[in-house]
Chains A and B, each alone.
Chain A
Amino acid sequence: MSFLEYEFMQRALVAAVLVGVAAPAIGTFLVQRRLSLMGDGIGHIALTGVALGFLLGTAPVLTAIVVAILGAVAIELLRERGRTTGDVALALLFYGGIAGGVLLIGLSPGGSSATLVSYLFGSLSSVRPTDLVVIAGLSVAVIGVVAVFGRELFAVCSDEEVARVSGLPVRFLNILVAVTAAVTVTVAMRVVGLLLVSALMVVPVAAAQQLSASFRATLVGACAVGMLASVGGLVVAFYADVAPGASTVVLALGGFLVAALASQLRPVR
């Protein structure tokens, strides 16, 4: 396959496989909790982090991860305090994230909103060898969190009050989900971009659940759909010269359509 002759494509491909598995893995728990849009919010906030990196002259990934984690924990603490006030507070955080990002990039030397585009929609050539190490390490960490805490996360995301009465460390687990989601967002930002990262966390789950009766099968199926979509999206992006985030998400949505049609033919028991 000719696209594999390019080193940046080899790196991008490894990153796509890892991100394609990690994003739906944590995404399944967000959907279970009915917080599908949380990844989106974190993505908005991470934009401020990226711009902060440019302003300070440090690696944007590092500042993005710090800001995304702070934002995710803030979202979780606001959510914990109640729904009515939480909703508006979340909106404020999201808009603040985008506005802050555009503002900071404008202030940074030589930066303009155009600089942010590769972070918003993903960019094939942006995965450098050192990035790949970071992406690999963090993806493994995300998958590790799901493997080790999966049972407890399922309990908390299904029924928080019952989990509390069972003595599970509910607040710790909630913050763990938030932080893991934040890490996933920053890891996936190079491949699919901040605006579409949440789609890779949610759309594969929506596709997998059309055809499965169990949580476990949905989780595994979503990871498979996510991986296929991100690898396929990368190849399409290479040949068609489009942003990989867009082609990946369109493929995942295609997967959802196929699964939805198939479930009509073979209804879940």
Chain B
Amino acid sequence: MTVFELRGGCVALGGREILHDVSVSVDSGEFVAILGANGSGKTTLVRTLVGLVPLSAGTLEVFGTPLARFRDWPRLGYVPQRLSVGGGVPATVREVVASGRTGRAHRLRRLGRADHAAIDHALEDVGLSHRGSDAVATLSGGQQQRVLIARALAGEPEVLVLDEPTAGVDADSQDTLAGALGHLAGQGGSVVLVAHELGPLADLIGRAVVMSGGRVASDGPPPEPEGHHAHVGHIHTHAHETHDRGHPSVLEPRTFDR
């Protein structure tokens, strides 16, 4: 079954085309990494896949349904790139994770047993069960990133889309993260993630889509770790040099929550 089917996708933001004729398809059970330099369109691509950025041309189907008619949102989990969790009011780790369940919950009913079980599992998966009642702001950056992932997992999605989940995350959290994603993949779930450095995720990745200048530069098995030069950092460096020099104005739009 196909999770995402993007054909000839073009995206323009602020009058500038960011993605040019991108075709990517993700099957159920796949673990796909989107790689590429800063400004290559990775983030825009995943934001397009989850319906946050409209296509200016091309078509997108999600679970076989054109995006405009897609209603089965709980099947999708999304972990945006955020510097920290939460807004202006304190919230506990459990409250934030539970909010990921809202799409599946009934408006007029309290959360049921299945909801609480899913929230418990999500907290367990990211190793934060013992921090449930702590204010999320008291957690480290890596732990907050894990909270964001738990929030998505609490909705029990079939596919998880993550934007740079490992950016600025300590080694312990990266390992926990890899464990949680491995667990999801082991249960038949699909994962699409944007990454700059793969770290402990490298072993999980079955396919790498490398973006460059808003186009798919390559799509296939992940680069074999063959000494220093085969690392993702290598791709990153070269893409920067060859591409960014030609298009100095291409910068990826990002939304950060303060």
User: What residues of chain A have their CB less than 8 Å away from a CB belonging to chain B?
Assistant: 28, 31-34, 36, 148-149, 151-152, 154-155, 157-159, 161-168, 205, 209, 212-216, 218-219, 268-269
Question: Does the CB pair A215–B92 fall under 8 Å?
Answer: yes
B151 CB-CB contact with A under 8 Å: yes
Q: Report the count of interface residues on B (CB-CB < 8 A).
A: 39
| Shortest Cβ distance from residue B31 to the other chain A in the assembled complex, whole angstroms | 20
Beyond A152-B102, A159-B80, A166-B76, 19 additional pairs, beta carbon < 8 A: A34-B88, A151-B99, A152-B107, A154-B99, A155-B102, A158-B99, A159-B99, A161-B78, A162-B80, A165-B52, A166-B74, A166-B102, A205-B89, A213-B90, A213-B135, A214-B95, A215-B95, A216-B95, A218-B90
The one of A31, A155, A216, A268 in contact with B138, judged by C-beta atoms closer than 8 angstroms, is A268
With both beta carbons as reference points, the residue of chain A lying nearest to B96 in the complex is identified as: A158
Whether B50 is near chain A, meaning CB under 8 Å from some CB there, is yes
Give Cα distance in the complex from A154 to B105, angstroms: 13
Confirm or deny: B100 has a beta carbon within 8 angstroms of a beta carbon on chain A. Answer: yes
User: Does B1 make an interface contact (CB < 8 A)?
Assistant: no
How distant is the Cα of A151 from the Cα of B102 in the complex, in angstroms?
A: 7
With A165-B51, A215-B95 as contacts: A268 and B105 at CB distance below 8 Å: no
- CB-based contact A36/B95 at 8 Å: no
A-B contact list, 25 entries, CB within 8 Å: A32-B87, A32-B89, A152-B102, A154-B99, A154-B102, A158-B87, A159-B99, A161-B52, A163-B102, A165-B51, A165-B52, A165-B73, A165-B76, A166-B103, A167-B72, A167-B73, A209-B89, A212-B90, A214-B92, A215-B95, A216-B95, A268-B135, A268-B138, A269-B134, A269-B135
Interface flag for B108 (CB, 8 Å): yes
Determine which of B52, B72, B88, B134 lies in contact with A32 in the assembled complex, contact meaning CB atoms within 8 Å. Answer: B88
Q: Within 8 Å of chain A (Cβ to Cβ): is B124?
A: no
Asked whether, in the complex, the Cβ of B108 is within 8 Å of the Cβ of A148, the reply is yes
**In the complex, which residue of chain A has the Cβ closest to the Cβ of B75?**
A167
Q: Which residues of A contact B187 (CB under 8 A)?
A: none
- Check B255–A149 contact: CB distance below 8 A: no
Q: Within 8 Å of chain A (Cβ to Cβ): is B56?
A: no
Contacting A at CB under 8 A, from B81-120, are 82, 85-92, 95-96, 99-100, 102-103, 105, 107-108
Q: How far is the CB of B102 from chain A (nearest CB, A)?
A: 4
In the bound complex, how far is the Cα of B130 from the Cα of A134, in angstroms? Answer: 47
Whole-angstrom distance from the CB of B134 to the nearest CB of chain A?
6
**A-B contact count, CB below 8 Å?**
104
Say what secondary structure dominates the interface of chain A: helix
- For A165, the chain B residues whose CB sits under 8 A away are 50-52, 73, 76-78
State whether the Cβ of B71 lies closer than 8 Å to any Cβ in chain A: yes
- Least CB separation from B105: chain A residue: A151
Determine if A215 and B76 form an interchain contact, defined as CB atoms under 8 angstroms apart.
no
Asked whether A149 lies within 8 Å of B100 as measured between CB atoms, the reply is no
* Shortest CB distance B73–A (Å): 3
Cβ of B30 to closest chain A Cβ, rounded Å? 19
Let me know if B95 and A154 touch, CB within 8 A. Answer: yes
* B99 close to A155 (CB less than 8 A): yes
B102–A168 touching, CB < 8 Å:
yes
B17 lies within 8 A of chain A by Cβ: no
Give chain A residues whose Cβ lies under 8 Å from the Cβ of B255. Answer: 161
In Å, the complex CA distance between A215 and B87 comes to 10
Interface string of B164-176 (1 = CB under 8 A from A): 0000000000000
Contact B99 A34 (CB under 8 A): no
A205 proximity list for chain B (CB < 8 A): 89
Q: Give the interface centre of A158, A209, A219 by most chain B CB atoms within 10 Å.
A: A158
B133 at the interface (CB under 8 A from A): yes
Tell me if A33 and B99 are in contact (CB < 8 A).
no
CA distance A80 to B102 in the complex (A): 22
Q: How far is the CA of A216 from the CA of B257 in the complex (A)?
A: 22
Q: Does B155 contact A (CB under 8 A)?
A: yes
Contacts of B71 in A (CB 8 A): 167
With A167-B71, A168-B102 already in contact, the answer to whether A161 and B80 are too (CB < 8 A) is yes
Residues in A whose Cβ lies below 8 Å from that of B108 = 148
Contact status A215-B102, CB under 8 Å: no
Residues on B with C-beta less than 8 A from A212 are 90
Complex Cα spacing A165 to B152, Å = 10
Please measure, in the bound complex, the distance between the C-alpha atom of A149 and the C-alpha atom of B155, giving whole angstroms.
18
**Contact A214/B87 with A161-B255, A162-B151, A166-B100 known, Cβ cut-off 8 Å:** no
Contact B90 A209 (CB under 8 A): yes
Q: Which of A157, A163, A167 has the most CB of B within 10 A?
A: A167
Q: Tell me which residues across on chain B come within 8 A of A269, comparing CB atoms.
A: 134-135, 138
Q: Give the Cβ gap from A35 to chain B, nearest Cβ, in Å.
A: 9
